[in-house]
Structure 1
Amino acid sequence: MYLIEFVSNHLYTFVALVATGIFAGVLAGLLGVGGGIVIVPVLFFLFQGFGVSPESAMLIATATSLATIVPTSISSIRSHLNKGNVDIELLKRWSAFILLGVLAGSWLVTRVNGELLALLFGVIAILAALNMLFRTGKSALFTQLPSKAGQTVMGAAIGFFSAMVGIGGGTISVPLLTLYNYPAHKAVGTAAAIGLIISLPGAMTLLTLGTAPTDAPVGTFGLVNLIGFICIVPLTVLFAPLGASLAANLDGAKLKKIFALVLLVTGGRMMAQLML
């Protein structure tokens, strides 16, 4: 009885979160983009519609996005492993440094103002959009990966910045790896594994060390909104194959450019909201 009353009292919240899961799943399958780059801005604006401040909305969107990436990345890893597209040797070299970056980044999230995170996400979203618009199909800038020291910095930076803005790592690691003449299919498969290294410790840190803001939406524990997690994850997994099926019948390159433009506007709007 209490559950029915709770759902009816927060019906709009549930519907909005379900729609977020469907949207993220379809886009992930359709365009091959990570869920975090979709989920974070949607939750950022959605939570504000519930009366949450922009600062608190960004903190909770970041943490909740990382939590949703955990199960979806596991599913993705299995698929890429079966195709032989996960570079185990690179993961062995990078894992510890990615993890250190994640722990530092997620700890910092619990200490900084959400405005900084929104600005950082806006910058990363705009750079990702520009990469989709102008670097697709372009040749690599370097012939091979840098030295061990350079790769250490790359791994730590991917973990740090991804954890701070709630994305799984593919948004940063795939374009970064392909800059160094790394095969695109292996970059995507390896990024799925990197996503798990980022999301699991990142979400756990924000769940246990984070303190829910006073204006947090219902169901928020630490900085993770568990209602959002429960609503988004199954639908993202369920609708990703639908997006993949649609991709077979639509112009993927054109759709990716449209999404890049949307991402460009979204990142710019997030920055403008906090700067103006």
Structure 2
Amino acid sequence: MDLTSLTSNGQLFEVIGLGLALIGSGLVAGFLAGMFGIGGGAVLVPVLYQFLTVLGVDEGVRMHVSVATSLGIIIPTSIRSFLAHKKRGAADLELLKSWLIPLPLGVVAASLVAAYVSGDGLKGIFAVIAFVLGLRMLLNKEHWKLGNDIPGSPIRPLCGAGIGFFSTLMGIGGGVMNNTFMTLYGRPIHQAVATSSGTGLMISIPGTIGLIWAGWGAPELPPFSAGYVNLLGVALIIPVTTFAAPFGVKVAHSLPRRKMEVFFGIFLMVVAVRFILSLNGF
């Protein structure tokens, strides 16, 4: 779709508005990366999906490109967020070391699945997990626990692999899932947040590489794409997210998080319902 056609049918202003929305989502994503220890993918994926919809990107690859591009954007955000938390000594480095193998294995498995699953299938996976995570954040109670400390094998590596697998298919850095995992086993929320920024690194880097491979040569990809990763989208949003991440870190260590949890939980559930209603057959 060229500029002339956009102007003639009145879509140019809509595209400009979505471009501004992308920048706004980058600010929110970067802030959330620091505050919640996440890469902001749960915000970026639905916004990117709508942006690609207006641009007329084929529906068969639209969700794949959204997920993969989100993971690419998460890389620098996670780096900056993790270094800021690590400087404060809050991250559980022992847990991250124990996940050096199982978590990337889950990422690799997800990349293989993404190469074959349909756009609707990927959208459905995102919707179901987002709804469950949103519900958990809304109903979260501090006294909910599965144990007093994080277990060893086989639960720990299996959970790490699961976090890597589902986070990659959703285009997120695993922060929401890891926060849930750690707090259910008695770890303080600030430590969970700091550690989750580390899982973002372990997911986003191999996940981006895997989805470049999975989408290499795929038909109907938008311009400036490397596999499923759209380099133009990455270049547009990365500066904004990296700028905003440290502000989220400051808030995470100074203010109660419950109101933000409720807001983010509602956002996840609204996105989940919209994705489910957009599936073929609904």
Q: Structure 1-normalised TM-score?
A: 0.87
Match of 2:242 among 237, 256, 262: 237
Residue 221 of structure 1 pairs with residue 234 of structure 2: no
5 Å-filtered alignment, 1:94-243, equals 94-211=99-216, 213-241=218-246
One-letter amino acid of the structure 2 residue matched with residue 39 of structure 1: L
Could you list the runs of 4 or more consecutive aligned residues of structure 1 that deviate by over 4 angstroms after TM superposition? 8-11, 13-16, 26-33, 241-252
2:4 aligns with: none
Count of equivalent residues: 269
Q: After the TM superposition, which of the residue ranges 27-36 and 180-189 deviates more from structure 2?
A: 27-36
Once residues 182 and 250 of structure 1 are traced to their aligned partners in structure 2, the CA distance between those partners, rounded to angstroms, is 18
Q: Pick from 17, 23, 35: which aligns with 1:18? A: 23
Shift in CA distance, 18/52, structure 1 to aligned 2, threshold 3 Å: same
* Residues 179 and 118 of structure 1, relative CA distance in 2, 3 Å threshold: same
Q: Which runs of 5+ in 1 are unaligned?
A: 1-7
Q: 2:91 aligned with 1:83, yes or no?
A: no
One-letter amino acid matched to 1:108: V
Give the drift of 1:258.
2.6
User: 8 Å contact 1:212–1:223 — kept in the other structure?
Assistant: no
Structure 2 vs 1, CA of residues 89 and 125 (structure 1 numbering), >3 Å: closer, same or farther? same
Q: Distance in 2 between matches of 1:91 and 1:255?
A: 26
The residue identity in structure 1 corresponding to 2:216 is T
- Paired residue type of 1:90: L
CA distance in 2, matches of 1:252, 1:149: 32
Aligned to 2:49: 44
Partner of 2:64: 59
Are 2:100 and 1:73 aligned? no
**Counterpart Cα distance in 1 of 2:272 and 2:23:** 23
Change in 2 beyond 3 A, CA 1:154/1:26: closer
Unpaired stretches in structure 2, ≥5 consecutive residues: 1-6
Question: For residues 106 and 263 of structure 1, what CA distance do their matches in structure 2 show?
Answer: 23
1:241 is displaced (CA, Å) by 4.5
CA distance, structure 1, for counterparts of residue 29 and residue 144 of structure 2: 29
Take 1:112 and 1:186, find their aligned partners in 2: how far apart are those partners?
35
Could you tell which deviates more after superposition, 47-56 or 249-258?
A: 249-258
What is the deviation of 1:23? 3.6
Cα deviation code 1:130-174 (max 9, x no counterpart): 111111433323222233111111111111111111110112111
Shift of the 77–213 alpha-carbon distance from structure 1 to 2, 3 Å rule, reads same
Q: Partner amino acid for 1:57?
A: R
The answer as to whether partners of 1:110 and 1:211 remain within 8 angstroms in 2 is no
Contact 2:110–2:168 under 8 Å retained in 1 = yes
The one-letter code of the counterpart of 2:69 is T
State whether residues 115 and 215 of structure 2, in contact with CA within 8 Å, keep that contact through their aligned partners in structure 1.
Answer: yes
Distance of aligned partners of 1:54 and 1:172 in 2 relative to their CA distance in 1, 3 Å threshold: farther
